[in-house]
Chain A
Amino acid sequence: DTEVTQTPKHLVMGMTNKKSLKCEQHMGHRAMYWYKQKAKKPPELMFVYSYEKLSINESVPSRFSPECPNSSLLNLHLHALQPEDSALYLCASSQDPDNIGNTIYFGEGSWLTVV
């Protein structure tokens, strides 16, 4: 089983709303990732959690707030977003944060539209 589950699949939110994207994996993976993908562009790394601690923040604006409540869950809290933040948000996970020979598995993504 290599499943990473993301909810919701689609989200429409206003610029003043607060919403969250959720990601779950039950593979015992200790590294979890958020990527952002704009239309016709490759995915871009946003955040990396290693053993439930934030290890990488790729200079992401503070209106995006990640959270890792436990080793199976990863959230991305959204607040005061702009229309240009509309994108596909991808969650991923891998078993050992320190072993680059471990495969990173992706979820199907959450499509976010900011109106």
Chain B
Amino acid sequence: QKEVEQNSGPLSVPEGAIASLNCTYSDRGSQSFFWYRQYSGKSPELIMFIYSNGDKEDGRFTAQLNKASQYVSLLIRDSQPSDSATYLCAHQEESSYKLIFGSGTRLLVRP
């Protein structure tokens, strides 16, 4: 079992809708979580970091962390075709600071 699980998708949503991306993890000691976006043929880029339980908002993006249930999610409001990409969830190992990535969810926003 992978440490970080994501549905591979594709998740298809119409333009203007809310896209909801989910991620579960197995390490109960994890404290830090990241969402990276990766366009096809490009390198990953950070879009959100969350450390505390609850919600963190940044523009159209909201990250939600629930440590009791061991899941972290990313909501994208008013989805745009330019949001079409693969979204990678990762947690940080507390002892080494290494990032453990999930396989990613492909998001497709239909015009």
Please say whether chains A and B are actual partners in one complex.
no
Residues of chain B touching chain A, judged by Cβ–Cβ distance below 8 Å, are none
